[in-house]
Structure 1
Amino acid sequence: MLHESVFRSVDLPVDARFEAWAEMLRQTHAPMDLVPIPLSTADRGHRPGADYHAHQRLIALGDVTIWPATFDPIVFRRTPRMVRQSDPETFHLSLLLQGEGAATWGRQQVAYEAQDFHVNCTSMAYEILTGTEPVTTVGVEIPRSLVALPAREAERVVGSRLSGRDGVGALLAQFLMRLAADTAPYRPADAPRLGTVVADLITTLFAHTVDTEPRLTPEAHARTLLLRVKAFVRRHLGDPDLTPTAIAAAHHISRSYLHRLFRTEGLTVAAYVRDQRLRNAYRDLTDPDPVLRATPIHAIGARWGFPRAAEFSRAFRTAYGVPPSELRRAAGAGRVPRA
């Protein structure tokens, strides 16, 4: 089963529900202001948001995140100041399954209905509001770097009303709905591959919308691929079989090409994997958390891909000049800053 986390407002005290949901969305997407809208069916005799209902699942597909959600009416507002202060540089797509909505970007306004895709970008200010009934959506957060189009052309899609009823939009909509309906058939190792499928479908949909062809220069393609590879490595550091052969196979490239990608940054694949593992082990060994303090050193090494204690100790001492046990003692005495 794919890894996913679930938010249910009903699990929280009534007065805490809306703000908890708002904070969840800020973390999922980007900093923004959120304002509840009164339900048309019942005012319930109290202020909007006092008993807010929302249910959201976060499904991680490598660098892409899918989040099916049902929530009460709301206004999302991201201001130019928020964009200047924090821009994670992602596109957001929402497939509207139930309800209605509208969005504004400056003077541009678009209305949406069921089976439409709404697209926005964290680099642009916007205001989005739903109708006065609860809405159900499947949202997608995707880094701009994974959309294989020139930035200006990809941004032309923002504000478009994209149909999920036919063509490429239907392919993407069906894929998202099927995935959201049941993640049980998939293994965690499938997640980044599924994320790649989503990224390819979104790129194709964007390209179709602006009537262009997906394209990257060889240099840009290599940079994007290297980012994907590094993200894959960081997610699989605990796997002792994380070898160049396995990494290359997961990305459908040859080992020689994988090594060339890392050489552009003066790195080797093995050195990058080792350094990331040791960095995480260092943090665990210097973390004051009681659970980590009680975890045996060999278990920390195994957690980060060093199944043999002697190998972990040698690699750690070579990297940091002290064995893991000495670093832990120094950290316990407050003499070592956390990395």
Structure 2
Amino acid sequence: MKTRQIPPLKALLAFEAAAEAGSFAAAAERLFVTPAAVSQQIKVLEQQLDIRLFERSKSGVRLTRAGQSYLVFIREALEKLRLGQQQIELFRRVDVLTITALPSLASNWLMPLVLQWMELNPGLQVRVEASHARVDFNRSVSDICIGYGESGYAGLNKELLFTDSVSMVLSPQLLATVAEPQSLEAITQLPRIHIDWGEDNDSLPDWEDWLQAAGLDIATSKAGPRFNLSSMAIDAAVQGKGLLLGQRMLIADELKAGRLVAPCEISLPLGRAYYLVYPKRTLDNANARRFIDWLLASF
């Protein structure tokens, strides 16, 4: 069938330009060709697809219903090609290392390390992308990602970073409102902040788990806020909005600065570890290999 053949790129570009401009003449100016050349490319496209894409008139051209539908797909396809061109340019920059990480991990744990690395290596740049999406290295310019758990990264290099744990923390101002600040039972009457990790909730210890580990039978407390980002939950805890089961790697600065305090030593490990994940092509970049070795040596 004709429609199974991919049309020439020139014809698709002419179609996109004519559809957006509303005339072959205006499309020709945009493409730096003649109106006759645009008309010929549209004719080639319509013949291959065996359907009319434009209604012609003296005032210009107008897309048919088929043309309107086809334009949606052509725009998407050409946009992907243009994005691919931009990414190719990024691959030329061996002095730029791109790392993708979960948003809260990127801001609360990774960024201080990245800034430290850049101070030690002033000629190199690190580009951090914060995303919840799993990285497809075949479509991404990322050199490395910090993955939560090992699943979904078959065939890639994986280096264990750490397994984090959660502890109950709160702001010192909120702790000062408790009549018996030495009593865990009294403290846990305060509102509790909740974190919703969606599909990963099964690996995140919750308040029921922590209270059971602490030997406390306190089913309810005042309702606290709920967030899908750990960084937002940490900010809420610093502002005194409730108790938080905070990840130790993410709240280290807050604990050190006294913005949060941990009234007891009870902690629970997360159900999965964090991994450094990267494809084989990353090792072709000597700067990337140096960063990987440096990061792993920091544990």
Q: TM-score, with normalisation over the residues of structure 1?
A: 0.18
* Structure whose CA Rg is larger: 2
Higher relative contact order (CA 8 A, sep 6+): 2
TM-score, normalised by the number of residues in structure 2 = 0.20
